[in-house]
Amino acid sequence: MAYVPLADRDSEMEMHHPHTWVGKYVWCQDHKVIAIQYGSVAIFTGIVGLVLSLLFRLQLGFPESVSFVDPSFYYQAVTMHGMIMVVYLLTALFLGGFGNYLIPLMCGARDMVFPFMNMLSVWVFLLSVIILMASFFVGGGPTGAGWTLYPPQTSMAGTPGHDMGLVLMLVSLAVFIVAFTMGGLNYVVTVLQYRCRGMTMMRLPLSVWGIFVATILGLFAFPALLVAAVMMLFDTLLGTSFFMPAIIESGQAMDYDGGSPILFQHLFWFFGHPEVYIVALPAFGLVSDVLSCHARKNIFGYRMMVWAIIAIGGLSFIVWAHHMYVSGMNPYFGFFFATTTLIIAVPTALKVYNWVLTLWEGDIRMNVPMYFAIGFIFTFIHGGLTGLFLGNVVIDLPLSDTYFVVAHFHMVMGVSPVLVVFAAIYHWYPKMSGRMYHEGIAKLHFWLTFLGTYAIYLPMHYLGFLGVPRRYYALGTTDFIPQSAQDLNAAITVAALIVGVSQLLFFFNIIWSLRFGEKAGPNPWGAASLEWQTPETPPVHGNWGDSLPTVYRWAYDYSVPGAHEDFIPQNTPESEEPTVQEEHFNPDQDDSLANV
C-alpha cells in the first residue's frame, strides 16, 4: 500500500465522537481518556502497594504490634509491594498514563495510530490487575516468594501462596505483558508515523524520546518475563522441570528433577534490568521538560540527552547479571558485567550534568513542578552513587543481602521516579483539567514527601553497612545489631507512616482543584512544546480542531535573545516571530520584560 501522508489523510480520519457517558468515559478510544484510565488504575494499585509497605514497616519498626502481620503475611506483603510498584504502578503509569496522554499531543497527532487497540490495552491491563488482586482472596493468599520469584523456593511448601497465589501472579504478569504489547506498539508507531508536519525526530520534546525508547525497551524486555512466567507456570501446573531441580521438601523428594534455577534468574533479570530503565527513561524525559520550562532555558545539550537515552537503552540489555553476583558465576563473567554496569553510569551522569547545567543561570521559577524536579536531581544522584558501589562485585557481595541495597534501589527507582510522577502531574495538571491546584498544599506535599523519604532511606544505608539483613521478618536480638539500629528502624517506620499519610494531601488537592481550583488558562507556564498550544483546554477529542498544527522549531525556544516573550511555541513560524526590534524595543515601557 502506498503511503498516504498524514496531513492529506486528516480530513478522512474517522473520529468516533462518542455521545453517551459510557462511550465517553468507559469504552472510550480517546487517548486522553485512556491515559487517565491507565493512570487511575495504576495509582489505585499503587495505593495498595503503599498500604502493604506501611503494614510491613510497622512489623519492622514495632515487632508484633499488628496482630495479622505474621511471617507469612509479611513475605506476601513485601512481594506484592515490590511487584505492584515496579510493574503495575510505575511501568503502567509512565507508559500507559503519561505515554498515552503526551505522545499524540506532543507529536501533533489527533490520536494514537490504533485507537481501538489502545482501548483494548487499558482493559486488558485492568484485567491483569484484577487477577493480581484476586490472589489476595484465594486459599493460601498471594505469593510470598519475593518479587523476583526465584525458584525453587517459589514453589516450595514453606513459601506462602506457593500454589494458587503464584499461579495468579504469573497469569497476571502474562496478561499485563499482552496489554503492554498492544499499548507499546501503538506508542512506537505513533511516534514514528503520526508526527505532524515539520516535527522531525530531533524536534520532539525529551519526554517523547524517553517514553519512546522506554517502550522499545519494554517490547524487547517483557518477552523475557513472559518466557520465564510461561515456563514457571508449566513447572507449577503441569509438573515439568524447566527451573525446578531435584529437591527435598519436608523430608519428601518433590516430583522434579534436573531443572535450572539459574536459568530463571537469567531470564528474570534480562527483563528485570531493562525494567529499571523502562521506569527511569520516561522519568528522565519528563523531568528534562519540566526543568527546562521552569528554568526558562533550553535544555542543555539536547542532542547529548537524546543520545544518552538511546545509549542507556542499549546498554541496559547487557548489565543484567549484576543482580546475580551472589548467585555464583565465572569471575570473568562478573568482571564483564561490573564493567558494563559502570559504563552505563557515563551517559547517566551526562544527563545529570545537563540537568544541572540547564538550571545554571536560568531564570528559575520555583513553581511546584520545579520543587519536585530539583528534588529528583538530589535523590537520583544519591541513588546513582550507591549504584556505583553495588556495581562492583567485591563490594556487592557483602552488601547484597543488607538494607544498603534496599536503600539504593528505593532512592534510584522508587523515590526518584515517583518525584518525577508528581512533578509531571503538577506540571500537566492545568492542561489536563483546565484548573490550577492549590499551591500551598502542593508545596507542603513536596516537603513532607521529599524530607520524609530521606528520613526513610538515608538511615537504611547505615543499617546496611552495619550488616542488618533485608528480607527478615524480625531482627531479634543479635550482637551485631545494636539497640540503636532497632531504634533507627522504629524511626524509619514513623517516617514512612508520615510520608504515606501525607500523600492524602496530594489526592485531596487534585480532586478538590478539579472543581474549586483557579482557572488555569491554556498555557500557564509559558511552555513552548506543542501540547500547550491546543485550541482548547483541556484538549477535546481530536486535539487540534480543524487542522493539524505545523511545527517550525524545536521544543525548547526559551528566552531566545531578541524575542518578545521568553518562549516561542513550536508552531510559531519564523516570519511571525515577534522580535523586540520590530516593535521598537523600549525597556522602560515593555512590561513583559520587566519581570525578567
**Residue ranges in contact with another protein by CB under 8 A:** 1, 3, 5-8, 113-114, 181, 185-186, 188-189, 192-203, 219-220, 223-224, 226-227, 230-231, 234, 238-242, 255, 257-260, 263, 266-267, 270, 298, 302-303, 306-307, 310, 550-554, 556-557, 573-574
Q: DSSP 3-state assignment of 249?
A: strand
All 3 cell numbers of residue 256?
Answer: 522434579
Minimum distance, C-beta of residue 376 to another protein, in the bound complex (Å): 25
Q: Which residues contact 448 (CB under 8 A, 6 or more apart)?
A: 498, 499, 502, 505
Torsion (CA) 10, 11, 14, 19 in degrees, nearest 10: 120
Q: Return d(Cα 499, Cα 455) in angstroms, integer.
A: 10
Q: Which residues contact 337 (CB under 8 A, 6 or more apart)?
A: 318, 319, 320, 321, 322, 325
Nearer to another protein, 50 or 244 (CB): 244
Nearer to another protein, 307 or 335 (CB): 307
Q: Return d(Cα 225, Cα 460) in angstroms, integer.
A: 30
Minimum distance, C-beta of residue 220 to another protein, in the bound complex (Å): 5
Nearer to another protein, 189 or 346 (CB): 189
Please give the C-alpha separations between residue 19 and each of 93, 115, 116, 118, 413, in angstroms, as whole numbers: 28, 17, 17, 20, 41
How is 165-209 classified by DSSP, letter by letter?
Answer: HHHHHHHHHHHHHHHHHHHHHHHHHHHHH---BT--GGGS-HHHH
Q: DSSP 3-state assignment of 20?
A: coil
Question: Which H or E element spans position 252?
Answer: strand 252-253
Minimum distance, C-beta of residue 44 to another protein, in the bound complex (Å): 28
Q: Return d(Cα 286, Cα 37) in angstroms, integer.
A: 20
Nearer to another protein, 293 or 510 (CB): 293
Nearer to another protein, 9 or 365 (CB): 9
Minimum distance, C-beta of residue 562 to another protein, in the bound complex (Å): 14
Minimum distance, C-beta of residue 445 to another protein, in the bound complex (Å): 35
Q: What are phi and psi of 550, to 5 degrees?
A: -120, 140
Nearer to another protein, 198 or 467 (CB): 198
Minimum distance, C-beta of residue 224 to another protein, in the bound complex (Å): 6
For residue 104, which of 178, 49, 29, 52 has the smallest C-alpha distance? 29
Nearer to another protein, 202 or 504 (CB): 202
Minimum distance, C-beta of residue 87 to another protein, in the bound complex (Å): 17
Nearer to another protein, 6 or 455 (CB): 6
* Positive or negative torsion for Cα 31, 32, 33, 39: positive
Q: Return d(Cα 49, Cα 372) in angstroms, integer.
A: 22
Nearer to another protein, 305 or 488 (CB): 305
Minimum distance, C-beta of residue 158 to another protein, in the bound complex (Å): 23
Minimum distance, C-beta of residue 243 to another protein, in the bound complex (Å): 9
Minimum distance, C-beta of residue 567 to another protein, in the bound complex (Å): 14
Nearer to another protein, 102 or 177 (CB): 177
Nearer to another protein, 6 or 514 (CB): 6
Q: What are phi and psi of 291, to 5 degrees?
A: -60, -45
Looking at the DSSP bridge assignments, the partners of residue 579 are 563
For residue 127, which of 76, 178, 77 has the smallest C-alpha distance? 178
Task: Report whether 369 contacts 294 (CB < 8 A).
Answer: yes
Minimum distance, C-beta of residue 548 to another protein, in the bound complex (Å): 10
Burial class (CB in 10 A: 0-12, 13-18, 19+), 99: buried
Minimum distance, C-beta of residue 310 to another protein, in the bound complex (Å): 7
Total Cβ atoms within 10 A of residue 251? 5
Nearer to another protein, 211 or 390 (CB): 211
